[in-house]
Amino acid sequence: MSAQIRKERKGYYEILEKTQKGNLDITEWIKWFLQCLINALRSTDSILKRVLFKADFWNKHSSTLINERQKKLINKILDGFDGKLTSSKWAKIAKCSKDTAIRDINDLIGKNILRKEAAGGRSTNYELVK
């Protein structure tokens, strides 16, 4: 809940000031607090789903040979990678050559961990197989 209040800090201080300077009616503050609680529960649910998915993924692939670069990038994807994953981004994040990135990606495609997204050609993107 404290993390959610930090996210909604501006609203928190606004409703707190409004409540303190008004009469003794705390109805608006209670409404704000309950909405904040709902938001916290939704956020927790979302985080929990990602954590469970990540745990299931690594359990499923516990015996699959995956190198450290691949583990690093898979974890980034599982943690919520921003944007589209391309071989160039792979190379930059993993600090390797583009050729090595393509070999890593093709290896994971062969292991049914990654797949190419529908658009191909120069704008080839990759995603986890779910």
Q: What is the pLDDT of residues 97-130, one digit of tens each?
A: 999 999 999 999 999 999 998 776 677 899 999 8
Range of the domain at 81: 68-128
The number of distinct structural domains making up the chain is 2
Q: Which of 30, 60, 90 is the endpoint of a domain?
A: 60
For the chain, what is the mean pLDDT?
92
Q: How far apart are CA 110 and CA 112, in angstroms?
A: 5
The answer, yes or no, to whether residue 23 has pLDDT greater than 90, is no
More confidently predicted of 44 and 121:
44
Look up the CATH number of the domain holding residue 114: 1.10.10.10
What is the reported pLDDT for 121?
A: 66
Q: How far apart are CA 110 and CA 103, in angstroms?
A: 10
| Structure-token pair, residue 6 | 């930090």
- 76 and 51 share a domain? no
The answer, yes or no, to whether residue 15 has pLDDT greater than 80, is yes
Q: Rg of the chain's alpha carbons, rounded to an integer? A: 22
Q: Which of 14, 43, 60 is the endpoint of a domain?
A: 60
Residue percentage of the chain with pLDDT more than 90:
75
- 94 and 111 share a domain? yes
45-61 residue pLDDT tens: 989 999 999 999 999 99
Q: How far apart are CA 47 and CA 8, in angstroms?
A: 18
Is 104:89 a contact under the CB 8 Å cutoff? no
What are the angstrom distances between the C-alpha of 101 and each of 13, 65, 72, 87, 130?
A: 48, 16, 12, 6, 21
